[in-house]
Chain A
């Protein structure tokens, strides 16, 4: 079951990556791009977790956790930048 699910999941995640890339490149607005970037972070987390399941190891989960945190901080900062320009005031 897993042997079938994982390749399919990989394929779907790859597609998601490409679609996100499309949105990052196309925009049209900055918020669109930021949102796409945030989604890319989420996609990466999923990819890594998938990869961990695939290799049957927990090591990648921590990386995923960190990506989650960094993604959050990054998105917050860009959003703040859009709002106020100055992210630390």
Chain B
């Protein structure tokens, strides 16, 4: 069930009615059943994996909580992390590592058949495993004040608004909300629906529609001119942002209707004035996860190596960041490139190098550093987007011949229009200090806009093939 489908909205309406209709002590159970119905719609077999893995994780977390000594806590959490990462590795990365290993052997003249094990990747596995890992960490670092039962944890780890593609919530943020009593609230319903409508606009009328066009350019760049490919690269930055931020808005809105507050996932990332700043605004639920559970521990471990401590921590964190996105070299290189950006920012932080992340007060300089950051990020997105190195080679070759084609004006018009709308929405979000911008408008205005957007979105969904959400494959 994609969020941008009719079947999801039917499901959501029924689930919400049932959820508020049952007595409050059964509400979590109703939610848990909805979670599993939602997840099983994709492929029911994967819900057994979800159920067994997260149940196991629950009990491991409980025993961390119960153990007295630091040493035994450490042993148990190591076990818990290992199990989860092994499962993630088996389903997601085995192909990649076996292929890379075979490739490496080939370089030394040893030839082996690739032991490619074709395992279909269970949907959302990277997201729900990372979310359930926070249960282990939060028990380990004693961030949880209360005790939680199995139902509460299973509801948390399969929470349908976020199970497919985040935001990745933390146990210490979401579980207290699951424990608390939630009653139907008109304000939540309104705020939730407005956020869903806003998210659908970003996802469908910016993200999906760009994707429908540029997917063809990235798939077969040999048929397109330099200018067309250049436009596609520029548009991809806007596509992935609106696709993902729109999706996060929908997820937050859906959760809001059910009475939950999910963390902010995007804060106008393309207005960042340095790559460091970008990572504080992009996919926040994931980047802060990496910061708290990978970067800080590494940094503290290596702290007596001086600057090198930070550098090692940065590079390792971003390699993991890349690898998390997918089992292929391009994601690793993308992560590595961001690692380089941030290392350089750290090393040259105090001078005027283009990679420095020093805050500037001068408006012109600020604009310049925003543009500079955007260019660095967009260049990295090329690595993120290409499917393989042959395509990358073709794409770069086509770019290098400086051909224009017969549609320069139309590509320019389309690209600029998408940039303008995305920027205007970001600007309004920034001014209002919230992503739920419809809530800040006059009620009649917000209602009017919502009616038109909803009708157009449903009409569009009826008449076109839907684009699946980009991030759901990670």
On whether the two chains bind one another, the answer is no
